[in-house]
């Protein structure tokens, strides 16, 4: 925001003695930031143990983050430095800024784009069916998040890297969990990184990355002409090791899992609950899914006919955003909404606060999949809807994420008859580090509506 003459004192949300607002941040950060925004306005500070976080919020924020001014005032480097150091790397996409970020993003753009799925929807469907047959058997109760993690790892692995490291799922999950908690969001002390469980998982992820490099080197040029993110990254390394260094490869090659596994699995977990809790929505998703899956090979155009499913995905991302705020550091002293932020201050850009404002989304807590249709388009108001973040680091995999979630949700409800358990009328969630359903959330597979291939 442009400089002004009056600079106000940033209001501080004090919270409880000593711990500050730790409990609110851990249980439902979105609801907490919405309340703070309503009471304190677009800039406020929150205390959490010994740390004080400066939070920016409100519909103006999205545009500002993408503006020249916003980009010059914020940087990402320190936020991800712990992750980079932990991998012995020199840089990672999320932690670079400016021209270097643009160059690195361009290297990964094609591999992370929706084009990576072109002509491969039936393959994606086969992977999905295989996972449903294995882990969602009729008569069993399924741990939803864990089962979805397996499914998403198979999907992302095949589509983005050409390998399916299902035997590494737990290691990838543990590594992400510990690193995000201890080194990125800093909700846990760094000492947890000494735990044998973490050290073992981290070593296994290293092994996976090194295997991917060896497999790429051994394979030579692809015979099917189908390039993946791995090919693009390895070629970029060979052509310009100054941009993609040898030490950065393991982190970059396993990046799809860091970025895509928890995000998609947790969002789909919330969606499964929301849809089962709304039988009218379930009926609409089933009707369109039955029609689309009965009408021949799946294409990009088939996905466009899944309008209720897509509405449910969008509504889930609105109500249960996995990235409530984008963490940054002030790159220089700057003013935002007539408040002075000092160079080096950690700044949280809470771009999802508008998801809960009734002036943008009437009855904001209602799960309403019709908000996004041509008559209403509630998400289209500038600054209203930002589940994939805003600014130069906006999710690079959002096209893939959308397609994966729409197709998977449609397939699950087309094939299976699922039921919530008696204790699960309300979705129980946890927030650390990626918000999502609690690990104990289970559904019962009451029956199979359609067999594989039907
Ligand atoms: C529900 C699904 C997803 C959501 C809500 C989501 C959200 C986000 C958000 C908010 C950011 C910005 C983080 C920041 O600025 O600090 C981001 C970045 C990113 N996402 Fe996603 N994401 C999802 C799935 C995926 C998937 C499936 C992939 C790829 C496999 C992916 C790849 C990336 C990458 C590579 C970045 C870094 C972009 C950059 O730094 O330039 N995401 N995502």
Helix H or strand E encompassing 348 = strand 346-350
C-alpha 259 to ligand 1 mean position (Å): 6
Per-residue pLDDT band for 2 (boundaries 50, 70, 90) equals: very low
Whether 311 maps to a domain, the answer reads yes
CATH code of the domain in which 110 resides: 1.10.630.10
Closest residue to atom 15 of ligand 1, CA basis = 393
Whether 280 maps to a domain, the answer reads yes
Residues with CB under 6 A from ligand 1: 93-94, 105, 112, 156, 160, 255-256, 259-260, 263-264, 267, 317, 322-323, 326, 387-389, 393, 395-397, 400-401
- Greatest alpha-carbon pair distance for the chain in Å reads 67
CA distance 238 to 255: 19
Closest residue to atom 26 of ligand 1, CA basis = 260
Residue-wise pLDDT for 92-150, tens only, equals: 999 999 999 999 999 999 999 998 888 899 999 999 999 999 999 999 999 999 999 99
Residue-wise pLDDT for 47-57, tens only, equals: 988 788 899 99
Closest residue to atom 35 of ligand 1, CA basis = 396
Q: Is 60 exceeded by the pLDDT of residue 3?
A: no
Whether 1 maps to a domain, the answer reads no
Whether 250 maps to a domain, the answer reads yes
Q: Are 281 and 334 in contact (CB under 8 A)?
A: no
Whether 7 maps to a domain, the answer reads no
Closest residue to atom 17 of ligand 1, CA basis = 395
Report which ligand 1 atom has the smallest distance to the Cα of 255. Answer: 35
C-alpha 264 to ligand 1 mean position (Å): 10
Q: Are strands 442-448 and 416-420 parallel, antiparallel or unpaired?
A: antiparallel
C-alpha 37 to ligand 1 mean position (Å): 25
C-alpha 278 to ligand 1 mean position (Å): 28
C-alpha 300 to ligand 1 mean position (Å): 21
Closest residue to atom 29 of ligand 1, CA basis = 397
- Assign 334 to helix, strand or coil: strand
Give the model's pLDDT for residue 110.
93
- To test the ligand 1 pocket, which listed residue (98, 154, 398, 407) has its Cβ within 8 A of the most ligand atoms? 398
CA angle 105, 257, 61 (to 5 degrees): 55
C-alpha 434 to ligand 1 mean position (Å): 12
Q: Which long-range contacts (CB under 8 A, 24 or more apart) does 37-40 make?
A: 37/350, 37/353, 39/13, 40/11, 40/13
- To test the ligand 1 pocket, which listed residue (102, 109, 261, 263) has its Cβ within 8 A of the most ligand atoms? 263
C-alpha 94 to ligand 1 mean position (Å): 9
C-alpha 116 to ligand 1 mean position (Å): 16
Average pLDDT for the chain: 92
Give the model's pLDDT for residue 6.
57
Closest residue to atom 40 of ligand 1, CA basis = 94
At 9, give phi and psi (nearest 5°): -80, 135
The strand pairing partners of 53, in sequence order, are: 46
CA distance 375 to 383: 19
Residue-wise pLDDT for 38-94, tens only, equals: 999 999 999 988 788 899 999 999 999 999 999 999 999 899 999 999 999 999 999
C-alpha 86 to ligand 1 mean position (Å): 20
Report which ligand 1 atom has the smallest distance to the Cα of 267. Answer: 1
Q: Are 288 and 306 in contact (CB under 8 A)?
A: yes
Instruction: Kindly report the pTM of this predicted structure.
Output: 0.95
Q: Is 70 exceeded by the pLDDT of residue 331?
A: yes
Closest residue to atom 16 of ligand 1, CA basis = 326
Report which ligand 1 atom has the smallest distance to the Cα of 326. Answer: 16
- To test the ligand 1 pocket, which listed residue (155, 233, 253, 259) has its Cβ within 8 A of the most ligand atoms? 259
C-alpha 148 to ligand 1 mean position (Å): 18
Residue-wise pLDDT for 170-210, tens only, equals: 898 899 889 988 988 888 889 999 999 999 999 999 999 99
Whether 243 maps to a domain, the answer reads yes
Q: What's the domain count of the chain? A: 1
List the strands of the sheet with 442-448, edge to edge: 141-143, 442-448, 416-420
- To test the ligand 1 pocket, which listed residue (397, 403, 435) has its Cβ within 8 A of the most ligand atoms? 397
Structural domain harbouring 262: 12-448
Q: Are 433 and 184 in contact (CB under 8 A)?
A: yes
Whether 454 maps to a domain, the answer reads no
C-alpha 180 to ligand 1 mean position (Å): 14
Report which ligand 1 atom has the smallest distance to the Cα of 156. Answer: 30
Burial of residue 329, with CB atoms counted within 10 A of its CB: 0-12 exposed, 13-18 middle, 19 or more buried? middle
Whether 3 maps to a domain, the answer reads no
Q: Are 342 and 333 in contact (CB under 8 A)?
A: yes
Give the model's pLDDT for residue 5.
46
- Average confidence (pLDDT) over 337-363: 96
Residue-wise pLDDT for 260-318, tens only, equals: 989 999 999 999 999 999 999 999 999 999 999 999 889 999 999 999 999 999 999 99
C-alpha 132 to ligand 1 mean position (Å): 25
Neighbour tally for 112: CB within 10 Å? 25
Helix H or strand E encompassing 284 = helix 279-293
């Amino acid at each position: 925001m442009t400089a002004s003459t009056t600079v106000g004192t940033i209001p501080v949300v004090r919270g409880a003695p000593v711990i500050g607002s730790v409990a609110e941040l851990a249980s439902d950060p979105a609801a907490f930031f919405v309340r703070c925004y309503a009471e304190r306005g677009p800039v406020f500070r929150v205390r959490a143990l010994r740390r004080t976080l400066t939070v920016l919020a409100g519909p103006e924020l999205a545009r500002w983050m993408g503006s020249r001014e916003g980009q010059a005032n914020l940087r990402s480097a320190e936020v991800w430095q712990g992750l980079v150091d932990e991998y012995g790397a020199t840089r990672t996409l999320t932690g670079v800024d400016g021209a270097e970020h643009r160059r690195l993003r361009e290297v990964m753009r094609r591999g992370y784009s929706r084009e990576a799925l072109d002509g491969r929807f039936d393959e994606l469907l086969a992977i999905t069916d295989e996972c449903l047959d294995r882990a969602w058997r009729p008569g069993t109760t399924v741990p939803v998040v864990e089962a979805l993690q397996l499914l998403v790892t198979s999907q992302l692995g095949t589509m983005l890297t050409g390998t399916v490291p299902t035997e590494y799922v737990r290691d990838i999950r543990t590594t992400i969990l510990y690193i995000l908690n201890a080194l990125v969001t800093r909700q846990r002390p760094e000492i947890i990184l000494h735990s044998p469980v973490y050290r073992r998982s981290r070593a296994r992820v290293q092994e996976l990355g090194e295997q991917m490099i060896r497999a790429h080197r051994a394979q030579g040029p692809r015979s099917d002409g189908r390039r993946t993110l791995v090919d693009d990254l390895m070629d970029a390394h060979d052509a310009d090791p100054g941009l993609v260094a040898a030490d950065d490869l393991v982190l970059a090659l396993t990046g799809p899992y860091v970025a895509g596994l928890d995000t998609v699995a947790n969002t789909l977990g919330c969606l499964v609950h929301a849809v089962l809790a709304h039988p009218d929505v379930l009926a609409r998703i089933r009707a369109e899914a039955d029609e689309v899956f009965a009408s021949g090979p799946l294409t990009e155009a088939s996905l466009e006919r899944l309008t209720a499913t897509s509405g449910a995905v969008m509504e889930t991302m609105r109500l249960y955003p996995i990235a409530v705020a984008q963490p940054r550091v002030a790159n220089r002293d700057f003013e935002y909404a007539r408040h002075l932020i000092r160079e080096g201050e950690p700044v949280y850009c809470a771009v999802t606060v508008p998801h809960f404002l009734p002036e943008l989304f009437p009855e904001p807590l209602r799960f309403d999949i019709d908000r996004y249709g041509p008559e209403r388009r509630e998400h289209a108001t500038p600054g209203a809807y930002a589940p994939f973040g805003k600014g130069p680091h906006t999710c690079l995999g959002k096209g893939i994420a959308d397609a994966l979630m729409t197709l998977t949700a449609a397939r699950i409800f087309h094939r299976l008859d699922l039921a919530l358990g008696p204790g699960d009328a309300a979705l129980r969630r946890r927030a650390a580090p990626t918000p999502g359903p609690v690990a104990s959330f289970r559904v019962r597979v009451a029956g199979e509506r359609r067999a594989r291939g039907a």
